[in-house]
Chain A
Amino acid sequence: MSKNPQKLGGAYVPEMLWDTLRKLSAEFESAKKDAGFQSEFQDLLRNYSGRPTPLIFAVRATKDLGGARVYLKNEGANHTGANKITHCLGQGLLAKRLGKKMLIAETGAGQHGVATATVAAKLGLDCVVFMGSEDIKRQRPNVFLMERLGTKIVPVEYGSKTLKDAVNEALKFWMENLDTAHYCIGSVLGPAPYPEMNRYFQSVIGREIRSELMDRQHKLPDAVVACVGGGSNAMGSFYEFIPEKSVRLIGVEAGGTGTKIGEHASRKIAGELGIFQGYKSLFLQTEEGQIAPTHSISAGLDYPGVGPELADLYTNGRVELTYATDAEAVSAVDYFAKLEGVISALESAHALAEVRKIAPTMPKDSIVVATLSGRGDKDLFNFARAFKDESFRDFLKDEYDRY
């Protein structure tokens, strides 16, 4: 029985967005049934993004962990290095059908921003990306890439100057430019139809996991593990398996540095029902309903809310939520780099940390699949700092001198 009888999701937005969201919903519904749209989307996924992405059998990690067979669904093999490009392509095509000239987006780590900028360039659309000024400082390489892709970056100078403020600013800009701009929301959240729409595009991940595993192992996985910020790669990985009751679905949130408010970004630890940025879900917030500060070493998980469909699946018990700390995430990157030759993004490393915990407890003939939402290139500077790598520090000094 559901512990939460309230319907999550919805569209809690100013009236000026009513018509825009209605038209977007209608276009999404018609595109789903349109063979032309489907073939264009599939073609871009295959011949631009590089799908299907590989399902890696982590043979050495499996042996080392001594339990379940470990597979990694490598979404990092996508063009631009993460799962984000999938829903950007879908939304970009919808934006063109709606006659929009511009994509706008928020970004935290810069992954969704780079993906949106890339798709805008590919489809011939203008692009404006909103980014907290704190994140701009932390993620300069992605800012540089977006600018090279022809995108305008708008720094957000108020609030916590991070992802949630970038969403606020993108929403405001959208409300002023509804005729020309499509807001390419970067996760399975925001007002309807965004959570459903992005999950629809991302659900290709789960379908590929199923068919790849069927081909090679002739059975379903016993567990699917994915990191959860807003939940785009998690919903994409889980959706296919929701009716398969034998498959455990485990979302791994950012445990940060501790369990006090402001030290983590885990709704399992402290999420409460609320309404924020257009949707009803679980949020980190104060007793009075102010949105609380969050922390994670991975900018992509550093956000107070979780997608409403995922919150629903969690409250009714179908999806389990857990968390990994900053330190566990960094250590998991190192572990899979050394054993499997895979350098994961810090976000995805939260899922890998959970695999290290559960695989040894599972029988040897069982299968656990972890979705590697993105590759670690973007975290080069963060990794170097986390490992206190002195040669990298020296390199940066030299590089500065070379300018």
Chain B
Amino acid sequence: MTDTNSLKILLGDPSTALGVKKARAFFMAHMIAGYPTMEESEKVAEALAKGGADIIELQIPFSDPMADGPAIAVASDEAIKAGATVAKSLALLEKVAKLGKPVAVMTYVNIPFRYGFSKFVKTISKAGASALIVPDCPFDTEEGRELLTTCKENGMYLIPVVSPGVPKERLEQLARDASGFVYCTSRQGITGANSKFAKELFAFVKELKETFQLPIAVGFGVKSKEDVAELKKVADIVIAGSVFVNVIKTAGVEKIEATVRELIS
């Protein structure tokens, strides 16, 4: 892992500092490349950074986002219809990375599979991304192993995505290869605006910390500052996503900055 990985600098060396000794939890804001349009999504990124997001999660839209709820699925669909391509998303990534916040790229496995894993990881690394999230590519598949190797070679964190209900045995398997942080969904389900945090979530996050020895990012369903405050109690990184899609839809891109400020206030 090179020291040019800005996420590593932000989180500190996870093997020693865990990023948990800091005073506050970090805030990771999710956005979709090309939503509502390619030009406007650049403004979304600027607003997220200005509003106070610590990390930006940039989703490269896929036609069939299996792990996303209707809000992000529909927005991905609209982004693609409005002309978002993988090539344009990667160009956007370069601009977003220049905003000075660590960027985690999220997408579905068929996108890097078609692009070529090595070429994909090299490209996003060169563009300034620090981490890669691929929720439908388990580490122990042929492609997962290839991604792990390529990411390692390029100083890129490959982030495991887990949720309450994943058994300890499996978490231990994943922990052997995990780096950067762990992406935890707050309920047994999909992204969305129903902010009912699973009861077992807090116990699960504790288990994750012990198993992975990495910062734990918790998301899916965050829509208010109360949600953020609640998750901050256990999470090292709080993730919000569909809330911004909804703001763009109902109030426009210009309300994004204020929304971030409100959420983390």
- Chain A contact residues, CB within 8 Å of chain B: 6-7, 10-16, 18-19, 158-159, 164-165, 168, 171-172, 175-176, 178, 272-278, 283, 285, 287-291
Chain A contacts for B170, CB-based, 8 A: 15, 18-19
| Distance, CA A10 to CA B144, complexed state (A) | 12
Is B137 an interface residue, CB under 8 A from the partner? Answer: yes
B85 touches A288 (CB 8 A): yes
Interface SS of chain B: loop
Complex-state Cα separation, A176 to B162, whole angstroms: 14
B111 adjacent to chain A (CB < 8 Å): yes
Taking the complex as formed, is B189 at the interface, i.e. its CB lies under 8 A from any CB of chain A? yes
Please give the distance in Å from B115's CB to the nearest CB on chain A: 7
**Chain A residue contacts of B136, Cβ below 8 A:** 12-14, 275, 278
Which listed residue (A16, A272, A276, A290) contacts B188, Cβ 8 A? A16
**Cα distance A290–B111 in the bound complex, in angstroms:** 7
* A residues near B142, Cβ cutoff 8 Å: 6-7, 10
Q: Does B190 contact A (CB under 8 A)?
A: yes
In the complex, the answer to whether B188 meets A18 with C-beta atoms within 8 Å is no
Q: Are B110 and A178 in contact (CB under 8 A)?
A: no
B176 at the interface (CB under 8 A from A): no
* Selected contact of A277 from candidates B66, B70, B86, B187, CB within 8 Å: B66
B55-77 vs A, CB cutoff 8 Å, 1 = contact: the mask equals: 00000001111110110011001
Q: Beyond A158-B70, A290-B63, A291-B64, is A19–B87 a contact (Cβ under 8 Å)?
A: no
Q: Chain B nearest CB: distance from A155 CB in Å? A: 12
Determine whether the beta carbon of A13 is less than 8 Å from that of B165: no
Further contacts, 10 of them, CB under 8 A, given A6-B142, A285-B110 = A12-B109, A14-B136, A15-B160, A15-B170, A159-B73, A273-B113, A275-B136, A288-B85, A289-B110, A291-B63
Query: Can you list 18 A-B contacts with CB-CB less than 8 angstroms, sorted by A residue number?
Result: A6-B142, A12-B109, A12-B138, A13-B66, A13-B138, A15-B163, A15-B174, A16-B166, A18-B166, A164-B64, A165-B64, A172-B66, A172-B67, A176-B188, A285-B114, A288-B115, A289-B115, A290-B80
Hey, which chain B residues are within 8 Å of A283, CB to CB? 110
Whether the pair A14, B110 counts as a contact (CB closer than 8 A) is no
Q: Shortest Cβ distance from B175 into chain A, in angstroms? A: 12
B185 close to A (CB within 8 Å): yes
In the complex, whether B135 has a CB less than 8 A from a CB of chain A is: yes
The complex places the Cα of A359 from the Cα of B84 at a distance, in Å, of 48
Q: Which residues of B contact A273 (CB under 8 A)?
A: 113
Q: Could you tell me the distance in whole angstroms from the C-beta of B33 to the nearest C-beta in chain A? A: 12
Is B188 touching A288 in the complex (CB atoms < 8 A)?
Answer: no
* Contact A275 B113, beta carbon cutoff 8 Å: yes
Q: Is B94 an interface residue (CB 8 A)?
A: no
Number of interface residues of B (CB under 8 A): 42
Contact check, A288 vs B87: say whether CB atoms are below 8 A apart: yes
Give the CA-CA distance A289 to B62 in the complex, in Å.
Answer: 8
Report whether B190 and A290 are in contact in the complex, using a CB–CB cutoff of 8 Å. no
Closest B residue to A276 by CB, please name it.
Answer: B110
- The distance in angstroms between the C-alpha atoms of A11 and B111, with both chains bound, is 17
Write out the residue numbers on chain B whose beta carbons fall within 8 Å of the beta carbon of A278: 66, 136
Q: Which of B66, B67, B87, B167 has the most CB of A within 10 A?
A: B66
* Bound-state Cα–Cα, A171 to B69, Å: 11
Chain B residues lying within 8 Å of A159, measured Cβ to Cβ, are: 63-64, 73, 77
Q: Which residues of B contact A274 (CB under 8 A)?
A: 110, 113-114
B229-244 interface mask toward A, CB cutoff 8 Å, 1 = contact, 0 = none? 0000000000000000
| Closest residue of B by beta carbon distance from A288 | B86
B193 located at the interface, meaning its Cβ lies under 8 Å from any Cβ of chain A in the complex: no
Give B75's nearest chain A residue, CB to CB: A158
Residues A275 and B109 in contact, CB atoms below 8 Å apart? yes
Binary CB contact string for chain B from 103 to 116 against chain A (1 if under 8 A, 0 otherwise): 00000011101110
Q: Mark B141-173, 1 if CB is under 8 A from A, else 0.
A: 111000000000000000011110111001000
Asked if A168 and B62 make an inter-chain contact with CB atoms under 8 angstroms apart, the answer reads no
CB pair A275 B110 closer than 8 Å? yes
Q: Kindly list chain B residues whose C-beta atoms are within 8 Å of the C-beta of A291.
A: 63-64, 110
Closest 8 CB pairs of A and B: A289-B114, A176-B189, A290-B63, A288-B86, A289-B110, A291-B63, A16-B163, A172-B190
The docked-state distance in angstroms from the alpha carbon of A104 to that of B69 is: 18
Please determine whether B63 and A16 come into contact, CB atoms closer than 8 angstroms: no
Given A14-B135, A277-B66, A168 contacting B189 (CB threshold 8 A): no
Which residues of B lie under 8 Å from residue A11 when comparing CB positions? 138, 141
Which one, B73, B87, B185, contacts A158 given CB within 8 A?
Answer: B73
How far, in Å, is A14 (CB) from chain B's closest CB? 5
Contacts of A15 in B (CB 8 A): 138, 160-163, 166, 170, 174
Chain B contacts for A168, CB-based, 8 A:
64-66, 73
Residues A14 and B66 in contact, CB atoms below 8 Å apart: yes
How far, in angstroms, from A380 to B68 measured CA to CA in the complex?
A: 37
Question: Which of B64, B167, B187 has its CB near the most chain A CB atoms (within 10 A)?
Answer: B64
The answer to whether A171 and B66 touch across the interface, beta carbons within 8 angstroms, is yes
> Nearest Cβ distance between residue B30 and chain A, in whole angstroms?
16
Q: Which residues of B contact A175 (CB under 8 A)?
A: 67, 188-190
Which residues of A are found within 8 Å of B113, using beta-carbon distances?
273-275, 289
Give every chain A residue within 8 A of B63 (Cβ-Cβ): 159, 290-291
A338 to chain B, nearest CB (A): 41
A176–B196 Cα distance when bound, in Å, is 13
Contacts of A171 in B (CB 8 A): 66
B189 to chain A, nearest CB (A): 4
Whole-angstrom distance between the Cβ of B139 and the nearest chain A Cβ? 9
Query: What sequence of 0s and 1s flags, for each residue 193-230 of chain B, a beta carbon within 8 Å of any chain A beta carbon?
Result: 00000000000000000000000000000000000000
Q: How far is the CA of A278 from the CA of B138 in the complex (A)?
A: 11
Given contacts A14-B136, A16-B185, A18-B166, contact A288 B66 (CB under 8 A): no
Instruction: Name the residue of chain B whose CB is nearest to the CB of A19.
Output: B167
**How far is B113's CA from A10's CA once the two chains are assembled, in angstroms?**
14
